[in-house]
């Protein structure tokens, strides 16, 4: 049975694109039924359109009341029988009710090695800014399940990236994004194959064939 996916986006959507590409190559047993954006100008919406994927804008402009906004999101997900939510560069906090409803069925990609450079205030390029300011030598990307905290849920996959002495926010973010585009689709593939088991905070993946990812 194919998994019904909703992708939540806010920006450029390169992670969304990586997912679309792997699904079209039939490497993932799932289908993106819906793209939900909290930014009506997100380029990610255009990417979806090019592949015939329906998108919807739900944000402060059309639902100014937060409870109505969150209620509408749940209503749409249920209407579309969504099994799995992917936060593919979604810059908004997920409602606790939704987290409970989709326990261990919401996957986020974060551009650092969690638990470093994550949590409140660390999103998008701010993460790489923090990495460069601190002077760490290694960073990377993390795919994790979403729980009620910010970037605190069980880790599914991580992959490291070496920080170079002459790195800028842009050069580092470019190399981290490459890694994101590998591990996000891979985690989604494992999820859709039913290979992911969550035991407390620990994620176990049976029959891993890709040894380039640390898990």
Smaller CB separation from ligand GAR, 102 or 123: 123
What's the CA gap between 100 and 152, in Å, rounded?
14
Nearest-CB residue for ligand GAR:
89
What's the CA gap between 42 and 39, in Å, rounded?
5
- Give contact residues for ligand GAR (rule: CB under 6 A): 11-15, 44, 88-89, 109-111, 123-124, 127, 177, 180
Comparing C-alpha atoms, which of 131, 184, 157 is closest to residue 14? 184
How many CA within 13 A on the CB side of residue 30?
29
Active-site residue flag, 110: yes
Smaller CB separation from ligand GAR, 111 or 185: 111
Q: How far is the CB of 111 from ligand GAR (least distance, A)?
A: 4
Q: How far is the CB of 121 from ligand GAR (least distance, A)?
A: 10
Smaller CB separation from ligand GAR, 13 or 153: 13
What's the CA gap between 125 and 131, in Å, rounded?
10
Q: Which two tokens stand for residue 77?
A: 């997900």
Q: How far is the CB of 210 from ligand GAR (least distance, A)?
A: 20
Give me the active site residues, please: 110
């Amino acid at each position: 049975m194919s998994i019904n996916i909703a992708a939540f986006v806010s920006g450029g959507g390169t992670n969304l694109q990586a997912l679309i590409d792997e699904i079209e190559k039939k490497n993932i047993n799932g289908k993106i039924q819906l793209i939900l954006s909290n930014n009506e100008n997100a380029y990610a919406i255009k990417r979806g359109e090019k592949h015939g994927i329906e998108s919807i804008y739900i944000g402060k402009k059309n639902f100014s009341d937060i409870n109505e906004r969150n209620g509408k999101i749940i209503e749409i997900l249920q209407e579309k029988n969504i099994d799995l939510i992917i936060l593919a560069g979604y810059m908004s906090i997920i409602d606790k009710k939704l987290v409970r409803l989709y326990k261990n069925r919401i996957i986020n990609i974060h551009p650092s090695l969690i638990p470093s450079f994550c949590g409140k205030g660390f999103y998008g390029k701010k993460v790489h800014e923090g990495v460069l300011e601190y002077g760490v030598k290694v960073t990377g990307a993390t795919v994790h399940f979403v729980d009620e905290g910010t970037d605190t849920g069980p880790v599914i996959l991580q992959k490291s990236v070496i920080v170079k002495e002459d790195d800028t926010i842009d050069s580092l973010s470019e190399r981290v994004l490459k890694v994101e585009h590998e591990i996000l689709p891979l985690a989604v593939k494992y999820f859709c194959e039913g290979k992911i088991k969550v035991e407390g905070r620990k994620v176990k993946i049976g029959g891993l064939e890709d040894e380039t990812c640390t898990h």
